[in-house]
Amino acid sequence: MPKIGMEPLRRKALIDATISAIGERGSLDVTMSEIAGRAGVSSALAHHYFGAKDELLLATMRHILAELTTDMRRALQSATSPRQRVSAVVAVNFSDIQFQPETIAAWLAFYVEAQKSSALRRLLRVYARRLHSNLMSGLTGILPRAEADRAAEATAAMIDGLYIRRALKDGVPDAATAIALVEDYLETKLGERHQQ
């Protein structure tokens, strides 16, 4: 097993602490000192690794996106049909790793902050393009391109909407229910196509 240096471990601890702090607070209104305390390091060390809080927030968003991308690649490699690809995209977005309260709260906070931060807005655009592309990778094997595009947009909107509702504690209580709702939409949409 390769050894991991202290710097990557501390950086990861700070990112995890950021997600935890944002999740608990429900906003990005957390201090570097609070995050450092959660990570078990000094504020000075947190500033050394990330500079300003904005840089730590960007690193946290990048980390969340990287985890999602890694999970998505793994799931898509296992899919053997276009329909399985679409279901894999849905399932990954609501996996135990992704659909946990702290991560959901972090996503909502990042969406809000993206209204003011062009860097966060760019990262969220990357996420949206990847989600659309991943959905299209399956849907274009089932539907004509224009219909696949509409179905991908609607599916992505459902995924994002279920995250928002869950973050506001006014939505589906668990991942299985969220997946079932999205899959019901997809089955209806794809069933309509087969009836035409």
Walk along the chain (196 residues) in steps of 10 and give the mean pLDDT of each run: 64 92 85 92 90 89 93 96 97 92 87 89 94 97 97 97 84 85 95 58
Identify the CA nearest to 86 among candidates 29, 163, 141, 129. 141
Residues 6+ apart with CB under 8 A from 120: 57, 58, 61, 110, 113, 114
Domains for the chain: give ranges and CATH numbers. Answer: 53-192 (1.10.357.10)
Tell me the two tokens of residue 138. Answer: 């399956």
Tell me the two tokens of residue 24. Answer: 């608990």
Tell me the two tokens of residue 20. Answer: 């935890």
Burial class (CB in 10 A: 0-12, 13-18, 19+), 174: exposed
Q: What is the pLDDT of residue 6?
A: 64
Q: What is the pLDDT of residue 191?
A: 85
Q: What is the pLDDT of residue 33?
A: 92
